[in-house]
Amino acid sequence: MDVVGVLGGMGPLATIDFMRKVLDATPAERDQDHVPMIVSCLPRIPDRTAAFRGAGDSPLDAIVDCGRRLESAGADLIVMPCNTAHLWFDAVQARLQRPMLHLVDAALHEALALAGPRARLGLLATDATVASGLYINRHLPDSTAPAWLMPTAGEMLEQVMPGIEAVKAGRLDMGQALLAEVASALRRRGADVLVLGCTEIPLVLDAAACGLPVVDATAALAREVVAHIRRC
Amino acid sequence: MDVVGVLGGMGPLATIDFMRKVLDATPAERDQDHVPMIVSCLPRIPDRTAAFRGAGDSPLDAIVDCGRRLESAGADLIVMPCNTAHLWFDAVQARLQRPMLHLVDAALHEALALAGPRARLGLLATDATVASGLYINRHLPDSTAPAWLMPTAGEMLEQVMPGIEAVKAGRLDMGQALLAEVASALRRRGADVLVLGCTEIPLVLDAAACGLPVVDATAALAREVVAHIRRC
């Protein structure tokens, strides 16, 4: 069975959440049935959102260093349970030996399967993920482009980013309250399905808290990993 | 900051629980404040309890292989969040380059601090951990040996081992019910403090469920790791 390299630490709670979702997606009766993983949880990687804004160092070298550690430890494929880090996906893949699976593709597959052809997708994500077009400019083969609804600039500044930072600091109640307000606003503005496009967000929000169906990008990547490993 | 190598996969849920407890024990405001970890979660390691019974292959070579993967990935010290695996602790340490911290020592330190000098400690653990004397024969410098209370042979066979196996298979409710019965029996027989000496057990039992103070060996090791890293 192939060994999955999990390039984590962005942040550590999201890494643990991803590992848990891999276990949840695996039919297993005993330890030995589970997906083999090697995990780097080295949180000194420079902040991805700050780098995108031009306000901090690029995380690229640190991400590649983590990927090479995973390769040294025997990983056969590599995934990054961090949406914003996917701004550097192509650059990381070019410098690693092992193939990588793309988190946004996994999330878009699930969103389009859930929402159907003419659906309006809401997006909750960091300002770097939203502004870079990581989701809205990523087209899957044979997919019709969905309509996207985004938080306003004010909601990004006052609720989404402070909500994500609260989760990273372990203040889950505050994070949930801030993020749930924006989820409700996107629902009122017509979203049919909400894509939780930052790994911190599904730690505190689910469909019940949002009042509409959600796609958890972390869980989508976990299911894609388990399906890939079971095909090998 | 040193990188902690977590030699996990025994089982995978316990590995995740340990990582979470390291985060919980770390004062952190942002990703970059957290303890750097490299984690092997390679659950094909032969069953430790079966090996101790003579009913399965030794896990030693597989554990050493995981440790060497962690060393290749840059770990500076190594911990094993699995009590029963500590039956092979000295043999693993002898074949690795990096120092290891001992889970049972971390748990005994907390148990003796909590229970005081003449306390009676109950032990919930696998039959290999109980029968090998991993806890009861491990003496800390300057400690007075505590009195130990163990489950009966029937309780081990009918409740403790099936409870642990239920947790490993994801049947947490069943595991909790089986293990809580034995915790109550140990309390009735006079235990002052209960040592949860198998990493699966604190996934489903805490002091409230047991009706007496508990020492969670997983959390004790996590706190020891954070204290060690912050001293470096």
In terms of average pLDDT, the best of A69-73, A168-172, B226-230 is A69-73
pLDDT in tens, A35-59: 999 999 999 999 998 999 999 999 9
pLDDT surpasses 90 at A201:
yes
Q: Check residue B143 and give its pLDDT.
A: 64
Confidence of residue A142 (pLDDT cuts 50, 70, 90): low
**A38 closest CB neighbour out of B10, B40, B43:** B40
**Mutation target vs A (from B2, B15, B41, B168; most A CBs, 10 A cutoff):** B41
Q: Both tokens of residue B22?
A: 């390291």
Q: Check residue A168 and give its pLDDT.
A: 83
Q: Which residue has the higher pLDDT, B103 or B170?
A: B103
Q: Check residue B117 and give its pLDDT.
A: 75
Distance from CA of A164 to the nearest CA of B (A): 11
Chain A positions touching B70 (Cβ under 8 A) are 73
Task: List % helix, strand, coil for chain A (3-state, nearest 5).
Answer: 50, 10, 35
**Mutation target vs B (from A7, A18, A30, A42; most B CBs, 10 A cutoff):** A42
Q: Check residue B4 and give its pLDDT.
A: 98
User: In chain B, which residues touch A (CB < 8 A)?
Assistant: 1, 3, 9-13, 15-16, 19-20, 23, 28-34, 36-45, 47, 69-70, 72-74, 165, 168-170
* Dihedral sign for Cα atoms in the order B79, B84, B85, B90: positive
- DSSP for B78-139 reads EE---SGGGGGHHHHHHH-SS-B--HHHHHHHHHHHHH-TT-EEEEE--HHHHHHTTTTT--
Q: Check residue B142 and give its pLDDT.
A: 64
pLDDT surpasses 90 at A27:
no
CB pairs under 8 A between A and B: 130
High-pLDDT (> 70) share of chain B, %: 99
Average pLDDT over residues B165-193: 94
Long-range contacts of residues A137-144, Cβ cutoff 8 Å, at least 24 apart: A138/A104, A138/A105, A138/A108, A140/A105, A140/A108, A140/A109, A140/A112, A143/A108, A143/A112, A144/A117, A144/A118
Distance from CA of B187 to the nearest CA of A (A): 30
Chain A positions touching B198 (Cβ under 8 A) are none
Average pLDDT over residues B84-112: 96
Q: Among this protein's residues, is B198 annotated catalytic?
A: yes
Q: Check residue A169 and give its pLDDT.
A: 85
SS3 category, B29: coil
Residues A56 and A46 sit within 8 Å (Cβ to Cβ): yes
Of B121, B199, B117, B73, the closest CA to residue A67 belongs to B73
Return mean pLDDT, chain A. Answer: 93
Average pLDDT over residues A173-182: 96
Residues B36 and A44 sit within 8 Å (Cβ to Cβ): yes
pLDDT surpasses 90 at B206:
yes
Q: Which residue has the higher pLDDT, B125 or B11?
A: B125
Residues B26 and B54 sit within 8 Å (Cβ to Cβ): no
**A43 closest CB neighbour out of B13, B34, B73:** B34
Return mean pLDDT, chain B. Answer: 93
Chain B positions touching A16 (Cβ under 8 A) are 16, 19-20, 23
**B42 closest CB neighbour out of A36, A42, A72:** A36
Give the range among A158-172, B50-64, B139-153 with minimum mean pLDDT.
B139-153
Domains parsed from chain A with CATH numbers? 4-102+220-231 (3.40.50.1860), 103-217 (3.40.50.1860)
Complex ipTM, two decimals?
0.90
Average pLDDT over residues B206-211: 91
Q: Spell out a b/e string for A46-56, using b for 16 or more CB atoms within 10 Å of the CB, else e.
A: bbbbebbeeee
High-pLDDT (> 90) share of chain B, %: 81
Confidence of residue B116 (pLDDT cuts 50, 70, 90): confident
Identify the active-site residue in B41, B198, B210, B232. B198
SS3 category, B193: strand
E-strand ranges in A14-119 read: 37-41, 77-79
**A11 closest CB neighbour out of B31, B165, B170:** B31
Confidence of residue A157 (pLDDT cuts 50, 70, 90): very high
pLDDT surpasses 90 at A139:
no
pLDDT surpasses 80 at A232:
no
Give A36's DSSP letter. P
Confidence of residue A118 (pLDDT cuts 50, 70, 90): confident
Give the range among A74-88, B136-150, B160-174 with minimum mean pLDDT.
B136-150
pLDDT in tens, B16-75: 999 999 999 998 878 788 999 999 999 999 999 899 999 999 999 999 999 999 999 999
Average pLDDT over residues A16-24: 96
Angle of CA points B86, A74, B55, to nearest 5°: 40
Record: contact A47-B37, CB cut-off 8 A: no
SS3 category, B162: helix
Q: Check residue B129 and give its pLDDT.
A: 93
High-pLDDT (> 90) share of chain A, %: 81
**Mutation target vs B (from A38, A83, A167; most B CBs, 10 A cutoff):** A38
pLDDT surpasses 90 at B153:
yes
Q: Among this protein's residues, is A82 annotated catalytic?
A: yes
